[in-house]
Chain A
């Protein structure tokens, strides 16, 4: 057991730090940071894209991507090392996670050579931004119950339907989309996975104003959108397999947040500044959060070790997202309580107010808390699933 860098890791960290020092401004360490992230406006995109391009040129953009696709061919540990170092610098928020973390690996696993040649490069450099067109008004946790249709028309498919909660769809260039191609078979068997040009005729993204006051995600209307068959990923009817690959990478990408989900030092500094550090009850809650943040961080390291040893995450990998979302929400609540009336109004509390109004999202997106618990209970602990009435029934016979 060793929680320190080995020689190779130490060398990589040095290399990353040196490169960052030459290419990025240091972060002002006095302000709290880390919890308010998403890129909401199109104009935020340009600085992010410039930074992504720079990283891609130096092969820091796709650290776990193979070298032939412009990556570094490194391990997930290498990637975490770079993220840890990058967090010390004032870099723009990252709207390319969907592309680099989800779409790229999905194309590597299931795409054609032509698709990889066409799409992977611009994903890595940030030249093209990607979004996820998965959830629908009637298909959230039960994603396989989606109703967006794709019908064959010569060499093309005609896609019609409605997607929702698509982060960045209002500025994205491409979307990944599972659609129903055969309603006469049970729901998981009738799906096919497509790449959709967000600039194509019939695609309309309408931003949804969230409780935080931002609009980072969208409702997306697809009205007879024509998609060439060359943009189908995997076989017709194999869309659920491809979708599961994307979802697995989504959970891993979100769980990557466990290494610095929020800085305990920010909470401690807030308690000190607000003069509440002497309150024994608040001290208990601070300590509780500190222990869980540490547990989360070291669980992340254990997961990395499992990946390094076994090639895939073991049981510890499934707990990151669930715990992270809940700790962050509690930390935001505690921060507002530390601020007292300032938490309700005034400049002092602006950052934490924002974080507080964004926090509920983490427990819902990428599989709700309840779905995460089902995954842990059924896939890790081996408990039997709930009886399901819809598994063997042709999709078209299911009640709406």
Chain B
């Protein structure tokens, strides 16, 4: 039994953190927020240079030959800085579908990928899509599509099947987004060529949810660290506000939620990576716990910063917006709890 990441995996995390700190920690996110750029080009170049997006690809495709666990370590670090790059769309979503389809070569190189699983009227990925494919041609409107303005290719849900499509010539429209540091677009397919991947939405969501869960975990942990640092420093009534039990108990609750979620995530990534019999339930557990921990930590981090926490210039809102944005895309905890019950009843 060994319920921790290996030394090698932790080294991957440490060097990623160093690189992200050298790039200015939260600075790239702030720059994207202020400039309205679709992503932070210099940081994405760094990520490509460090080989992060190719972590799970085989070595003959210039990948690192690692797996889901190493990606999870990276996801946690990217979550800590609310990274403004198309990593999650490319790796957790598009690349996951391609690896599940046994097509790692399609995911090779430096291209940006995404998944177009959502449709107008709030139709999520677990509902059959209205988009249709006839004679290898895809028609329909997908939104919101994360990084849809810049993606080179997409994994698209049409009917109940996942298809691969290049995005050249597809009509794109940027959307106003809760989290402007992870922009979203509407894609209108009008007879675009596509091919089926033979991968189920559930399999894709299972893998993507576990990776997103680590990103959520990293963000939540960072919120806790920010709140602890601030409440130690901020004095009222002649003492640090972190010495009041009303405040420190809130921080203790954040810690507990995050550590429980961390445990669900560790098991989730291990179970999905190794194809354990309860992998589907484990992925649900990781997703639910991490989503709730991040939402809670991000919200309380703002609150514990007082009026400052509510301002544009302070950092806490970056985390709250990212937290809720991820949650809304993947489906909220109630949906996943229902999914979990289905798995538990069948077990």
Q: A286-B341, A376-B256 are in contact. Are A295 and B289 (CB under 8 A)?
A: yes
Whether the pair A386, B245 counts as a contact (CB closer than 8 A) is yes
A284 lies within 8 A of B337 (CB): yes
A130 to chain B, nearest CB (A): 31
Tell me how far the C-beta of B213 lies from the nearest C-beta in chain A, rounded to whole angstroms.
Answer: 12
| A323 to B264 CA separation, bound complex (whole angstroms) | 14
Query: Digit string of B303-347 for contact with A (CB within 8 Å is 1, else 0)?
Result: 000000000000000000000000000000010011011001100
Q: State which of A283, A305, A381 has its C-beta within 8 Å of the C-beta of B337.
A: A283
Q: What residues of B have a CB within 8 angstroms of the CB of A2 in the complex? A: 1-3, 270
Whether the pair B260, A295 counts as a contact (CB closer than 8 A) is: yes
- The verdict on A382 contacting chain B, using a C-beta distance below 8 Å, is yes
Docked-complex contact A384 and B3, CB < 8 angstroms = no
Answer whether residue B252 sits at the interface, using C-beta atoms and an 8 A cutoff.
Answer: yes
User: Which residues on the A side are within 8 Å of B240 (C-beta)?
Assistant: 383-384
Question: Within 8 Å of chain B (Cβ to Cβ): is A103?
Answer: no
Given A291-B340, A295-B289: A302 and B249 interface contact (C-beta under 8 Å): no
User: Is the interface on chain A under 10, 10 to 19, 20 to 34, or 35 or more residues?
Assistant: 35 or more
- Shortest CB-to-CB span from A331 to chain B, Å, is 14
Output the residue of A264, A294, A309 with the most chain B CB within 10 A. Answer: A294
* Interchain CB contact (< 8 A) of B245 among A9, A322, A370: A370
Docked CA distance A381–B9 (Å): 25
Identify which of A1, A6, A315, A376 contacts B4 (C-beta below 8 A). A1
Contact B256 A383 (CB under 8 A): no
For residue A285, give the distance in angstroms from its CB to the closest CB of chain B. 9
Contacts of B224-267 to chain A: CB distance below 8 A: 224, 228, 231-232, 239-240, 242-245, 248-249, 251-253, 255-256, 259-264, 266-267
A4 interface residue per 8 A CB criterion: yes
Q: Can you name the residue of chain A whose Cβ is closest to the Cβ of B258? A: A319
Residue A374, interface by CB 8 Å:
yes
B285 CB–A CB distance under 8 Å? yes
Q: How far is the CB of B344 from chain A (nearest CB, A)?
A: 6
Q: A299 near B260 (CB under 8 angstroms)? A: yes
B3-A387 in contact (CB<8A): no
Specify which of B1, B248, B253, B260 is in contact with A383 (CB 8 Å cutoff).
B248
| Cβ distance B290 to chain A, nearest Cβ, rounded Å | 10
The distance in angstroms between the C-alpha atoms of A274 and B219, with both chains bound, is 41
Decide if A378 is an interface residue (CB 8 Å cutoff): yes
**CB–CB B338/A287 < 8 A:** yes
Count residues of B near A (Cβ-Cβ below 8 Å): 48
- Residues of B within 8 Å of A6, CB to CB, are 1-2
Query: Known interface pairs A294-B267, A373-B252. Does A384 touch B345 (Cβ–Cβ under 8 Å)?
Result: no
Check if B155 is an interface residue, CB within 8 A of chain A.
no
Question: Out of B3, B228, B251, B261, which one reaches A305, CB within 8 Å?
Answer: B3
Chain B CB within 8 A of A290 CB = yes
B256 touches A287 (CB 8 A): no
Verify A299–B1 contact, CB threshold 8 A: no
The reply to whether B1 and A381 contact each other, CB–CB distance below 8 Å, is no
Given the known inter-chain contacts A292-B260, A296-B260, please indicate yes or no for A305 contacting B1, CB distance below 8 A.
Answer: yes
Given A287-B288, A323-B260, A383-B3 contact (CB < 8 Å) = no
The prevalent SS among residues of A at the interface is: helix
B243 and A299 contacting across the interface, CB-CB below 8 Å? no
Residue of A nearest to B338 (CB): A283
A384 contacts B239, CB within 8 Å?
A: yes
Q: Are B245 and A299 in contact (CB under 8 A)?
A: no
Known: A1-B2, A1-B69, A291-B285. A381 touches B264 (CB 8 A): no
Chain B residues with CB under 8 A of A284: 334, 337-338
Asked if B66 is an interface residue, CB under 8 A from chain A, the answer is no
Q: With the chains together, A304 CA to B239 CA distance in Å?
A: 37
For A383, what are the chain B residues with a Cβ–Cβ distance below 8 Å? 228, 231-232, 240, 242-243, 248, 251
Question: Are A1 and B3 interface neighbours, CB within 8 A?
Answer: yes
Tell me the nearest residue of chain A to B267, going by C-beta. Answer: A298
Min CB–CB distance A391 → chain B (angstroms): 14
A302-B4, A315-B259, A386-B244 in contact; A290/B340 too (CB < 8 A)?
yes
Cβ of A290: which chain B residues have Cβ within 8 Å of it?
Answer: 285, 340-341, 344
A380 touches B242 (CB 8 A): no
Q: Which 10 A-B pairs have the closest CB atoms?
A: A295-B260, A287-B337, A377-B248, A298-B263, A373-B252, A376-B252, A384-B243, A299-B263, A383-B242, A301-B3
Of the A-B pairs whose beta carbons lie under 8 Å apart in the complex, a sample of 17, sorted by A's number, is: A1-B6, A1-B269, A284-B334, A284-B337, A290-B340, A294-B263, A298-B3, A298-B264, A302-B3, A304-B1, A319-B255, A370-B249, A374-B252, A381-B248, A384-B242, A386-B244, A387-B239
Q: Given A3-B267, A373-B249, A381-B255, output 9 extra A-B contacts at Cβ < 8 Å.
A: A1-B2, A77-B1, A287-B338, A291-B289, A291-B337, A294-B282, A299-B260, A299-B262, A302-B266
